[in-house]
């Protein structure tokens, strides 16, 4: 599958704008600092059960992204540190906003 990166940026920006502007969310507790991380060599092969599962850390990812937050030393690979946070953000907000009858 191929995606248009500009369209993906639009989607992400609109979703973040929605939760900040419409829902008033400024900070979110991600819960546990740790998450399971499947090695990329196994993550995208649904015919095989992953055997290389590591422990990721949101705080390590956030520290790694410090330069991005400061607008320096940008690298495409840093998207790999953003992805787990976006997933957890969606899970946490989806659950808490649904409990309030919102989306």
Q: Is the pLDDT of residue 51 over 90?
A: yes
Q: Which one has a higher pLDDT value, 56 or 52?
A: 56
pLDDT of residue 66: 93
Quote the pTM value. Answer: 0.87
Kindly report the number of other CB atoms within 10 A of residue 37's CB atom.
17
Q: Quick: pLDDT tens for 26-37.
A: 999 999 999 999
- 96 token code pair: 């808490």
Any idea what DSSP says for residue 57? E
Residue 73 binned pLDDT confidence (cut-offs 50, 70, 90) = confident
Rounded Cα distance, 103 and 93, in Å: 8
DSSP H helical ranges for the chain: 5-17, 40-43, 58-64, 66-69, 79-99
Q: Is the pLDDT of residue 81 over 90?
A: yes
Q: Quick: pLDDT tens for 36-48.
A: 999 999 999 999 9
Residue 84 binned pLDDT confidence (cut-offs 50, 70, 90) = very high
- Beta-bridged to residue 40, according to DSSP, are none
At 61, phi and psi to the nearest 5?
Answer: -60, -45
Q: Which one has a higher pLDDT value, 52 or 6?
A: 6
Domain boundaries, given as residue ranges, for the chain: 30-99
């Amino acid at each position: 599958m191929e995606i248009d990166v500009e369209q993906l940026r639009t989607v992400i920006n609109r979703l973040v704008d929605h939760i900040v502007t419409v829902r008033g969310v400024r900070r979110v507790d991600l819960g546990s600092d740790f998450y399971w991380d499947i090695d990329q060599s196994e993550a995208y092969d649904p015919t095989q059960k992953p055997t290389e599962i590591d422990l990721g850390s949101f705080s390590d990812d956030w520290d790694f992204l410090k330069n991005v937050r400061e607008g320096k030393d940008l690298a495409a690979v840093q998207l790999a540190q953003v992805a787990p946070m976006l997933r957890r953000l969606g899970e946490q907000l989806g659950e808490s906003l649904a409990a309030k009858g919102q989306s």
